[in-house]
Amino acid sequence: MQVFTVATTPFTDQKPGTSGLRKRVPAFRQAHYLENFVQSIFDTIAAPPGSTLVLGGDGRYYNREAIQIILKMAAANGFGRVLAGKGGILSTPAASCVIRKYRTYGGIILSASHNPGGPDGDFGIKYNTANGGPAPEKITEAIFAASKKIAQYRIVEADDVALDSLGDSQIGDMAVSVIDPVSDYAELMETLFDFPAIRTLLSGGFRVKFDAMHAVTGPYAREIFVNRLGASADSMMNAEPLPDFGGGHPDPNLTYAHELVEALYGDNAPDFGAASDGDGDRNMILGKHFFVTPSDSLAIIAANAHHVPGYKRGLAGIARSMPTSEAADRVAKALNIPCYETPTGWKFFGNLMDAGKVTLCGEESFGTGSDHVREKDGLWAVLFWLNILAVRRQSVENIAREHWARFGRNVYSRHDYENLPANAANGVMKLLRDSFVELRGAQFGHLQVKLCDDFSYTDPVDGSVSTGQGVRILFTDGSRIVFRLSGTGTEGATLRIYLESFEPDVSKHNLDAQEALATLISIALRISELRERTGRDKPTVIT
């Protein structure tokens, strides 16, 4: 095996965001661009010779080509074995599962999650550590530092690996094992959930609809829902993974999963609907003519965990990202367990799970998961809901309303302003930070500001500190407005406004969220000068 050392020069824009490095496909196809970042990963992690690496992605455009390059670079950098998903496919939670099951040194996941795909769409790459979770900030910062001074990368000359056939092959001294991307994950799900009870539910006339959005979860959904649980084949929508996601936007929300929404809000609607995203780590839950917010979904899952075999032992704790509503906090208090508030990004939950401090985690951005892996997990959340429904034999809406009656309703919404000019978005955030002094104690009708800050987090496990995680405006009645720039986009800037108020009165639980939050929405637009500074008169997406 001949190893080639290729001279290169650094790129200045290889700083990983919330979940890895994401750019447009043409950026990654530049000469040396992918190779530079991969070599920076390998130089940073310094894997011992002979280590095993997991490799796969969500099947988007450029996935296969990137895998062949990374395999040849892994061989040149001394790895002994790579476990690659068949066809180059591994959902993000499945990759975490494989890393943990086979105790590999880590894994490289090729995905831009919920971002659009195609020749001019988005591509992404991230490194997950031996616990199966995204690399923490200290590692991603070191990768970025390495990328700024890289002078060469290592690669071997070899034939491409046949990714569409299971089995072993060699690149020089390195073994490549092409594995079934679905089986290990599906077997793990069977250890957590009551599959016989769910089968009984689905065989008794309970109708479901799952939208894979032409993304990675199609094969997983077919194997689990159809083959193992007996759902009808026509309960699957858009189940064929496509490199461009069928021209759609694989983000499971009310705007982009419109086909599913129309089915669940239409005549003769199914009893249950769900969708997952590009790489399978996000989920949306719907009942008949009813939407469950991700924040409520986390809280309801926590309150009903005792119904699910894998969680009957009880919950060690719950963690949620700061912008996520405080609905889960109320359940944690009732269960007498801790609830941790972290920055956005699944990597912040890893330390808490590894230390045994939390069992369930969730983000308002349609991500929910548990300590079974170290990534959020879309199909896991769908199975959790199906298990609850199989036990309680109530509708999705009735379960949610009973939850609100017991704990109160945290009325919640997120307004996304996508593809803003970066200077305008940054200007809004600077204005808010500069307004902290005058905002504290300010009165807006019946609402008074209690606290404004830029959220920071001290990890209770390792003491690491993360600052600048989002502007919070907290009111004396418990209402909140949060402003945050998203770290998952590739074009322009996405500014998100999170709005929350608590309503204990059951008679008011039928109010539309936008109507109930109208005062907070007005305050948010006023203090941010968002319309004036960006020219936008409405959000791109409301959830």
501 is catalytic: no
Q: What is the pLDDT of residue 489?
A: 52
Distances (CA, A) of 237 to 10, 220, 289, 381: 43, 13, 18, 18
Amino acid 345: pLDDT: 83
Amino acid letter, residue 426: N
Give SS3 for 291.
Answer: strand
pLDDT at 487: 59
- Pick left, alpha or beta for residue 306 (phi over 0 → left; psi -120 to 50 → alpha; otherwise beta): alpha
CATH number assigned to the domain covering 185-407:
3.40.120.10
Nearest residue to 271 (alpha-carbon basis) of 201, 200, 180 = 201
pLDDT of amino acid 190: 98
Say what the pLDDT of residue 299 is: 98
* Longest Cα–Cα distance in the chain: 73
What pLDDT digit, counting tens, does each position of 39-49 carry? 999 999 999 99
Q: Identify whether the C-beta of residue 235 lies closer than 8 Å to the C-beta of residue 53.
A: no
Contacts of 137 (CB under 8 A, 6+ apart): 347, 464, 466
The set of residues, in sequence order, having a beta carbon less than 8 Å from that of 84 and lying 6+ positions away, is 54, 55, 56, 67, 71, 90, 161, 163, 176, 177, 178, 179
In the predicted model, is pLDDT for residue 488 greater than 70? no
Residues above pLDDT 90, as percent of the chain: 93
Checking if the pLDDT of 362 tops 80, the result is: yes
| pLDDT band at 61; cut points 50, 70, 90 | very high
pLDDT tens digits, 70-124? 999 999 999 999 999 999 999 999 999 999 999 999 999 999 988 999 999 999 9
- Pick the closest to residue 22 from 99, 125, 169 (CA basis): 125
pLDDT for the residue 311: 98
CA distance 388 to 402: 13
Examine the pLDDT at 472 and tell me if it is beyond 70.
yes
**Amino acid (one-letter) located at 335:** L
User: 137 versus 193: which is more confidently predicted?
Assistant: 193
From the list 204, 209, 242, the residue with the least C-alpha distance to 225 is 209
List b or e across 384-417, with b for residues whose CB sees 16 or more CB atoms inside 10 angstroms.
bbbbbbbbeeebbeebbbebbeebbbbbbbbbbb
Q: How confident is the model at residue 491 (pLDDT cuts 50, 70, 90)?
A: low
Asked if domains 3-180 and 409-542 share a fold, the reply is: no
CA 188 – CA 277 distance, rounded (Å): 20
Between residues 491 and 55, the one the model is more confident about: 55
The answer to whether domain 3-180 has CATH 3.40.120.10 is yes
pLDDT of 327: 97
> Burial level of 446, CB count in 10 A (0-12/13-18/19+)?
exposed
DSSP bridge pairs for 175: 81, 170
Q: How confident is the model at residue 19 (pLDDT cuts 50, 70, 90)?
A: confident
Q: Does the pLDDT of residue 369 top 80, yes or no?
A: yes
The catalytic position among 19, 40, 111, 113 is: 113
Average pLDDT, stretch 233-258? 94
Helix, strand or coil, per DSSP, at residue 474: strand
Whole-angstrom Cα distance, residue 405 to residue 389?
Answer: 18
The owner of tokens 């086909």 is 259
Write out pLDDT tens, residues 161-170: 999 999 999 9
Asked if the model's pLDDT at residue 348 lies above 70, the reply is yes
Q: How much of the chain, in percent, has pLDDT values that exceed 70?
A: 99
Each residue of 503-528: pLDDT tens digit?
999 999 998 999 999 999 999 999 99
For residue 140, which of 248, 235, 15 has the smallest C-alpha distance? 15
231: left (phi over 0), alpha (psi -120 to 50) or beta: beta
Domains of the chain by residue range = 3-180, 185-407, 409-542
Bridge partners (DSSP) of residue 342 are 321
pLDDT in tens, 391-436: 999 999 999 999 999 999 999 999 999 989 999 999 999 999 999 9
Q: Is residue 186 predicted with pLDDT exceeding 60? A: yes
Q: Answer whether 484's CB lies under 8 Å from 430's CB.
A: no
DSSP notation for 231-245: --GGGEES-S--TTG
The chain-wide mean pLDDT, for the chain, equals 95
State the pairing for strand pair 360-363/318-321: parallel
- Residue 450, classed as helix, strand or coil, is strand
Is the CATH number of domain 409-542 3.40.1710.10?
A: no
**pLDDT for the residue 218:** 96
